[in-house]
Amino acid sequence: RGEGEALEGEAPHIRSWDEVTCTSRPFAVEEGGTLEDVMRTMLAGEDGAEGAPASEAGFAASVQGIQVPAGTPLAWLCQHMCHPDRFVHICMHRLAARASTHET
């Protein structure tokens, strides 16, 4: 792989903070909500993500540096992966585009 290229399924390498959007706000989620519910709220209006599950739109989420499945219940995340401040800090990223392979 070349410098600055991400592997399939990896978060892309960031060259500048201008490429990063930072949103810090609490979410009210219904009981039984999942990480997918939060991701869908965050991606509202995002190109290619409207109405589609975040994972199908090419997005993933990490908590504490661990990529977490979109179907993970928020109650589980709050209980097992919160910081000492009792907040769950979620990082969402667009997955690297799949490399196309051509047989020659």
pLDDT in tens, 44-67: 766 555 566 776 778 888 888 888
pTM: 0.65
3-state secondary structure at position 42: helix
pLDDT for 21 beyond 60: yes
Q: Select the more confidently predicted residue: 20 or 77.
A: 77
Strand, coil or helix: what is 37?
helix
- Please indicate whether residue 102 or residue 45 has the higher confidence score (pLDDT): 45
Whether 1 has a pLDDT exceeding 50, the answer reads no
Q: Are 14 and 20 in contact (CB under 8 A)?
A: yes
